[in-house]
Amino acid sequence: MNSLGLHKPPAETRVVVAMSGGVDSSVTAAMLHDQGYDVVGITLQLYDYGSFAGKKGACCAGQDIYDAKNVADKCGFPHYVLNYENMFKESVIDDFADSYLRGETPIPCVRCNQRVKFQDLLKTARELNADVMATGHYVKRLQDENGRGQLVRGLDQNKDQSYFLFATTQEQLDFLRFPLGDMTKTETRALAERYGLVTADKPDSQDICFVPDGDYAKVIQKLRPGAIEGGDIVHIDGRRLGRHEGIIHYTIGQRKGLGLGGGETLGTPLFVVGLKPETNEVVVGPREALARNFVVLKDFNWLGDAPLNGQDLEIKVKMRSAQSPIAAIIRLNEAGIPEVTLDQPYYGVSPGQACVAYDGDRVLGGGWIDSTENTAFASYEKKLENISVSAIR
């Protein structure tokens, strides 16, 4: 068995490597080529964001394509560029804009993996007669006794990207490989230096690729002109505190930039605790109003065995990529919808984000946060006249 878990020599194993032009995917391709595999590099030209973000450049294009091609040429394996601009805009960017207009906080990187990279790119890899497709994600793939792939957190916990891959299907996981899963970022860069790759010192991308300056509101305004309207900023006790220029400028848990004279009322710091697109209201309140211990999920993707309806399954969950897993219980209600009860309240849970379930380091699956409740702070809720904090999304 070779290092990719296949019963054939590396030279007879074709591996399509998804190359973004960054150091991680570059090292993945160079390392597999060095090990004797039949490597084919593919870079997706996703979107020229200069047309609406007011910036020069592109996502997975321009310099990124040049860098990926440079790596392929230096190592001596073929490299192809596929134009996926229309697919990326429809599947990722439009969804990103519409999600914010619904009062959600989206994760476009998950959508990109789910709808573009691990769907259409995998199809292309199969058309090229690839045995597997490899990426530069910091995550591990193990095989069970039946040869089925299991998704496991990467060795480097600071770089682990399993949270972003929860939507990977079992069929996709069986075809995917993650050669960097047992490596640290320091080791990856050392290999890039050893191979003499142009990407060795290339910095990691920090922002959403199609929002180069971090101003996502500007992007949404250009994508959905006329769809953004101002409204009221209201306290959870019903008081109207001010006006806003669009709910897209706010996220759950936000404290700064509320436009309320420092964000405090009667000496109490205020946070965004809810967004109501149906009334165009931004709801604010004290930090304790952010606490949530019950989460309802939608579009859950199981990579492990799902519990029976009504059966409690002890797990750990992450609701932010950088969050350490926290203890919880997941169960399917009578309608088969996953519900998660946290062992302790979590602050700043937002619809549109993901909740990923773990059994140790193994990813059991994950889904999108649809709604949240607070059952642990009933005594606090009773202090609010005719207001139910748990009803605020």
Catalytic choice (59, 60, 75, 209): 209
Do 332 and 319 touch, CB atoms closer than 8 A?
no
Q: Which residues pair with 328 in a beta bridge?
A: 315, 342
Single-letter amino acid, residue 41: G
d(CA 340, CA 328): 7
Q: Which two tokens stand for residue 253?
A: 């848990």
| Residue 56: alpha-carbon gap to chain centroid | 25
d(CA 187, CA 169): 29
Q: Can 209 be counted among the known catalytic residues?
A: yes
Q: Can 355 be counted among the known catalytic residues?
A: no
373-377's contacts with Cβ under 8 Å and 24+ in sequence apart are 373/292, 373/293, 373/294, 373/295, 373/296, 374/291, 374/292, 374/293, 374/294, 374/345, 375/293, 375/294, 376/291, 376/293, 376/345, 377/288, 377/291, 377/345
Catalytic choice (59, 60, 75, 112): 112
What residues contact residue 170 under an 8 Å CB cut-off, 6+ apart? Answer: 148, 149, 303
Give the catalytic positions in this structure.
112, 209
